[in-house]
Amino acid sequence: MKNLINQILRGIVIGVANIIPGVSGGTMMVSMGVYDTLIHCITHLFKEFKKSILTLLPYAAGMLIGILAFASVIHWGLENHPLPTNALFIGLILGGLGPLLKKIEKKKINAAAVIAFVLLFALIIWMGLQNRDSIQNADTIEMNVGQMLIMVVLGVIASGTMIIPGVSGSLVLMLLGYYKAVTGALKTLASGLVHFDFSVMGQPVLMLLPFLIGIVLGIFGVAKAIEWLTSKYPTATYCGVLGLVAASPISLLIQTDMTGVNFVTVLISLAMLAIGFASAYLLDKGSRQ
């Protein structure tokens, strides 16, 4: 039971990360120490069906809880207290670097590994700079057959960014102009479920269902590619992942609105950083017990 609760809690953190521009669900998987396990379960879903399903379900449940329950809270935090909110996620990222560093600590670092680290580190910093200025997104989208197909394609793209560490699926959606529409649909759906108001759920379901189909299709393809890379080029792959993860805190700080920051805000932010760091450490420790 303790392990099940631990898995659901980690799933909640991963789910919340996926709805924040600049934060990567894949990074949180690495920070929670479950990245390789989840990738293996996804790519071996049909070969090891029972084992994979029993492993994936708690994380999937946690992710769903995180997305539906915390979307409004996180958006409120980013809108009203951006530095402390982002400090929490920076702490989560830094607190979970241990398992990733262990993957490469005894490996021989070659030129390919260094290049992978530098290029992917630079990619995340570049994406953070792109998101620093406000990007306008439509709040709603008129759904039709063509738009549903677009949502499937967006789901495929978003799924890849969700499980590639360091690459923010929400940021990609923002750059493509669909972030507000998708998160707005999630908020409406969550509100309808809480208040049992099924009349408002039609439009969100119409948008999110094809998006979900695209996510499912994309996850398998990207997970297969990552598994192949880690088996054929493990050192370069993990160094590349380290570059993605290490750049994420810097990218978050680049995007953070520092307006009105004072001494008290900095103290609160440091406290949130410590809480995030300790949470990631304890969740990883709990997974190894």
Residues 247-270: tens digit of each pLDDT = 888 887 887 878 888 999 999 999
Nearest-5° Cα angle at 204, 200 to 208: 160
The distance from CA 284 to its chain's CA centroid, rounded to whole angstroms, is: 17
Helix 49-80 to helix 2-18 angle (10° resolution) is 50
Give the range of the structural domain holding residue 149, as residue numbers without chain letter. 2-287
Residue 53 identity: I
HSE (side-chain half, CA atoms, 13 Å) at 243: 21
Question: Could you tell me if 181 and 137 are in contact, meaning their C-beta atoms sit under 8 angstroms apart?
Answer: yes
Give the residue-averaged pLDDT of 72-93. Answer: 82
Q: Indicate the pTM of the whole model.
A: 0.64
pLDDT in tens, 94-123: 887 776 777 777 778 889 999 999 998 998
Give yes or no for residue 82 having a pLDDT over 50: yes
**pLDDT score of 272:** 93
* Total structural domains within the chain: 1
Residue-averaged pLDDT of the chain: 80
Give the residue-averaged pLDDT of 201-224. Answer: 85
DSSP reduced 3-state for 146:
helix
Nearest-5° Cα angle at 216, 215 to 220: 110
Give yes or no for residue 34 having a pLDDT over 70: yes
DSSP reduced 3-state for 33:
coil
**pLDDT score of 273:** 93
